[in-house]
Chain A
Amino acid sequence: MKTCFIMLLFLTPGFLSLAGEEAPVLAGEPYVYKEWETFYQQEDGLPNDHIFALKVDGDRLWVGTEGGLALYEDGKWKSWTEEDGLPFNVVSSIAVSEKTGDVWLAMFGGGVARFSGGRFDHYHQLNSGLVNDVVYGITVLGDEVWAATTAGVSSYNFVTGEWEIFTEKNAPMEEIWCYNIDSAGHKVYVAVWGGGILEWDVEKRYWDAHHDPDREMEIDLYRDDGLIHIITTSVSMSEVMWASTYFGLSRYDGRHWRGYTRQDSGLISDFINFADGRGADSCYLSTDLGLAALVDYNTNTWVTYKRDSEDAKNWTAHIMIDNNIIRSVPVHLTLPNHFIICSEFQGNDVWIGTGHGLARGIGKGFYDGLKRKTD
Chain B
Amino acid sequence: MKRFISILCLTAIVVCAGVFSSAEDVEWREDASRVWDTTEVRGTDPEMLKKNYGRTPHEYFPYSEFSDPYRRFFREPLQYRGYGRHIPEPDHVDSVKIGFLGPIMKTVSVATGGASHEEPMGHKMMQGARLAIEQANARGGYRGGDIPFELIVRNDNGLWGASGNEIITLGYKDKVWAILGTIDGANSHIAIRVALKLELPMMNTGDTDPTFIETNIPWVFRCITDDRQMCYFLADYVFKKLGMTRVAALRANNRYGRMSIDEFRDAATRLGHPFLTELNYKVGDTDFAAQLTRIKSLNPEAVITYGDCEESALIVKQMRKMGMNQLFLGSDRLVLPKFFEIAGDDAGPVAAGYPYNPESQDPKYLEFCQAFRERFGDEPETYAAHAYDGMSMIIEAIQRAGLNRALIRDELAKVTHYHGVTGIKEFDPIFNNISAACLALAEDGKFKFFTREELLGESDAKFTQSESVKTEGE
B164 touching A356, Cβ below 8 Å = no
B5 touching A134, Cβ below 8 Å = no
A218 touching B197, Cβ below 8 Å = no
Q: Which residues of A contact B472 (CB under 8 A)?
A: 263
CB within 8 A of B62: which of A21, A218, A246?
A: A218
Q: Does B152 contact A (CB under 8 A)?
A: no
Q: Does B12 contact A (CB under 8 A)?
A: yes
Listed by A's residue number, 22 A-B pairs whose Cβ atoms lie within 8 Å are A4-B19, A8-B16, A11-B16, A20-B1, A109-B169, A151-B161, A151-B190, A216-B62, A217-B73, A217-B214, A218-B54, A218-B73, A218-B74, A220-B71, A222-B67, A247-B71, A264-B473, A269-B81, A288-B82, A310-B36, A356-B83, A356-B86
User: Which of A57-65, A174-182, A202-210, A367-375 lies at the interface with chain B?
Assistant: A174-182
Q: Does B271 contact A (CB under 8 A)?
A: no
B83 touching A11, Cβ below 8 Å = no
Q: Which residues of A contact B42 (CB under 8 A)?
A: none
Q: Does A221 contact B (CB under 8 A)?
A: yes
Least CB separation from A310: chain B residue? B37
Least CB separation from A225: chain B residue? B70
Q: Does A132 contact B (CB under 8 A)?
A: yes
Question: In A235-291, which residues have CB < 8 Å from any B CB?
Answer: 246-248, 259, 261, 263-264, 269, 271, 288-289
Q: Which residues of A contact B9 (CB under 8 A)?
A: 10-11, 15
Q: Which residues of A contact B56 (CB under 8 A)?
A: 218
| 4 more CB-based (< 8 A) A-B contacts, given A134-B164, A288-B82 | A16-B5, A134-B165, A219-B70, A356-B86
B168 touching A247, Cβ below 8 Å = no
Q: Does A30 contact B (CB under 8 A)?
A: no
Q: Given contacts A109-B165, A109-B172, is CB(A131)–CB(B160) below 8 Å?
A: yes
Q: Does A196 contact B (CB under 8 A)?
A: no
Q: Which residues of A contact B53 (CB under 8 A)?
A: 218
Q: Does A223 contact B (CB under 8 A)?
A: yes
Q: Which residues of A contact B62 (CB under 8 A)?
A: 214, 216, 218-219, 221
CB within 8 A of A231: which of B197, B216, B473?
A: B216
A222 touching B197, Cβ below 8 Å = no
Q: Given contacts A179-B193, A221-B63, is CB(A288)–CB(B81) below 8 Å?
A: yes
Number of interface residues of B (CB under 8 A): 55
Q: Does B423 contact A (CB under 8 A)?
A: no
Provide the bound-state CA to CA distance between A226 and B202, in Å: 31
0/1 per residue, A186-224, Cβ < 8 Å to B? 000000011000000000000000000010111111110
Q: Does A337 contact B (CB under 8 A)?
A: yes
A134 touching B168, Cβ below 8 Å = yes
Q: Which residues of B contact A10 (CB under 8 A)?
A: 8-9, 12-13
Q: Does A149 contact B (CB under 8 A)?
A: yes
Q: Which residues of A contact B435 (CB under 8 A)?
A: none
Where the two chains meet, the residues of A that have a C-beta atom closer than 8 Å to any C-beta of B are 4, 7-8, 10-11, 15-16, 19-21, 49-50, 52, 89-90, 92, 108-109, 125, 131-134, 149-152, 175-177, 179, 193-194, 214, 216-223, 228-229, 231, 246-248, 259, 261, 263-264, 269, 271, 288-289, 310, 336-339, 354-356
B216 touching A219, Cβ below 8 Å = no
A193 touching B193, Cβ below 8 Å = yes
Provide the bound-state CA to CA distance between A261 and B73, in Å: 11
- Contacts between chains A and B (CB distance < 8 A), count: 163
Where the two chains meet, the residues of B that have a C-beta atom closer than 8 Å to any C-beta of A are 1-2, 5, 8-9, 12-13, 15-16, 19, 36-39, 53-54, 56, 62-63, 67, 69-74, 79-84, 86, 160-161, 164-165, 168-169, 172, 186, 189-190, 193-194, 197, 199, 210-211, 214-217, 472-473
Nearest Cβ on chain A to B146's Cβ, whole angstroms: 32
A21 touching B2, Cβ below 8 Å = yes
B211 touching A132, Cβ below 8 Å = no
Q: Which residues of A contact B82 (CB under 8 A)?
A: 288, 337, 339, 355
Q: Given contacts A109-B165, A134-B161, A193-B189, is CB(A336)–CB(B70) below 8 Å?
A: no
Q: Which of A4, A10, A16, A194 has the most CB of B within 10 A?
A: A10
A149 touching B189, Cβ below 8 Å = no
Least CB separation from A259: chain B residue? B70
Q: Given contacts A133-B165, A134-B164, A214-B62, is CB(A90)–CB(B81) below 8 Å?
A: no
A263 touching B473, Cβ below 8 Å = yes
4 A-B pairs with the lowest CB-CB distances in the bound complex, closest first: A151-B161, A109-B168, A10-B12, A219-B69
B72 touching A219, Cβ below 8 Å = yes
Nearest Cβ on chain A to B361's Cβ, whole angstroms: 36
Nearest Cβ on chain B to A124's Cβ, whole angstroms: 10
Provide the bound-state CA to CA distance between A134 and B160, in Å: 11
